[in-house]
Homo-oligomer: A and B are copies of this chain.
Amino acid sequence: MDKTSEKINWEQLNAALASEETQSLHDLIEDWSFEEIAWAVSRLDEDDRSRFLEKLEPEEAAEILECMSSAQAVALVRNLEAESAASIVQQLPSNAQADLLGEMNATDAEAILESFSPVEAAALRILSAYSDEEAGGLMITEYLSYSDHMTVSMVVDDLRGNADQYRDMQVQYAFVVDARNTLQGVLRLRDLLLAKPSVQIRALMISNPLTVNDHTSLDELRQFFDDHDFLAVPVLSGESKLIGLVTRANLQTALADRHEGDYRKSQGLVQEELRSMPLMLRSRRRLSWLSINIVLNIVAASVIAVYQDTLSQVIALAVFLPIISDMSGCTGNQAVAVSMRELSLGLVRPSELMRVFLKEASVGLINGTALGLLISVVAYLYQGNGWLGMVVGLAMATNSMIAVTLGGMLPLLMKRLQVDPALASGPILTTVTDMCGFFIMLSLATAFLPYLI
């Protein structure tokens, strides 16, 4: 990795960016990989980033955009002149175009769409309206399709004649359609090798191919590719017209994005953040979630205020309040993570609350007891009072059980309520378990107050 930092001569780079001509930049980055270029671009200020892209050929600029995260790419394209932006976007594959336009605001997107032909623009508007969670949002629209009355030799002639253009397509299948663009079958290109030139491709094609439709969800697609050993699946619109295809690699990328997004959201980052973004945007995105959390925290801590009298008489309890709070977060979030995983593998359904409750209650009983015993010994040693140990230990054990069962069930409940479980489970969990934990410990302490003083 560090070869790049050595390789980059920032003075030369700045000079090349400041210069009127483009050759010096081309010479400089000639032997950089696209990823090295992307890294260097992220280290420039906004104006220099635009200048950098505008000095490249649109094809090169598009390649660089493709190895960035979409948040980065959107920010970059938005800062370009509409004309340069359009010429770069035109070089991207259709699914990348749609993603990019989908994440831009309407005005910016329209400015770019104007550079496309009306037909292309209409197609892109449709594509960018699909969410990332359905087949329409994942599919690529670069595919080969042939009319069902064509012969092997006609197809081979077309392949030969357009070899250069087709070489960039990663697909090894062609689709066979009728005059109304209804899918008739799938043709493996390599099967053309084995056939006589005069045969009609409809005799060679795999008929009644399996398909998905544009609203097929990510989970259903995962199930499809788990069940079938295919590289790609055709996507049909509502009216059974062929509109694109989803490859296994498209799906894997989308699943990787979702996993990454779940982790990010569980830490309170609703949208992707990269440190090359403007400071105020980064602060604001984080602060929105933090302000909800601090309010929830204040609500939870208000339970402590209710028991101020008990606390003032047994001040040692104050030492254990943050421990109860932190540990219930830890135990509960483990159960959240297990449920998130089982949901994504299809091993648990949102309706199976009872099963999860029983499975988690048993783990909660064992681990709660273990943690409770440990903390009760510590509390006893701290003040030499066995009753204090009992109160703290009992509160820890009970609250761990609550946290574990609640943590396991929350993602299922969120899913049923159509709330994103990655985003909402954590804050709800910690608020509820903090309140329970404070309440259990302080009400137990109040009940046994004479023995604690």
Contacts and interface: CB of A to CB of B under 8 A. Distances in A.
5 contacts: A269-B334, A283-B366, A291-B371, A308-B318, A322-B438
Interface in A326-363: 326-327, 329-331, 333-334, 336-338, 340-342, 344-349, 351, 355-356, 359, 362-363
Contact of A326 (B341, B342, B434): B434
A35 B290 contact: no
A297 B367 CA distance: 16
A226 interface: yes
Nearest to A190: B189
Given A330-B268, A336-B267, A226 B371 contact: no
Contacts of A419: none
Given A275-B347, A291-B374, 6 more contacts: A274-B345, A282-B363, A290-B334, A293-B330, A308-B316, A322-B322
A305 B315 CA distance: 9
A363 B297 contact: no
A439 to B, nearest CB: 13
B308 A323 contact: no
Interface SS, A side: helix
B276 A300 contact: no
B319 A287 contact: no
Contact of A263 (B253, B262, B342): B262
Contact of A286 (B170, B253, B256, B334): B334
A382 B305 contact: yes
Interface of A: 1-2, 5, 33-35, 38-39, 42, 66-67, 69, 156, 159-160, 163, 168, 170, 172, 189-190, 192-194, 223, 226-227, 229, 231, 248-249, 252-253, 255-256, 259-260, 262-264, 266-269, 272-276, 279-280, 282-283, 286-287, 289-291, 293-294, 297-298, 300-302, 304-305, 308, 311-312, 315-323, 325-327, 329-331, 333-334, 336-338, 340-342, 344-349, 351, 355-356, 359, 362-363, 366-367, 370-371, 374-375, 378, 382, 430, 434, 438
A298 B276 CA distance: 38
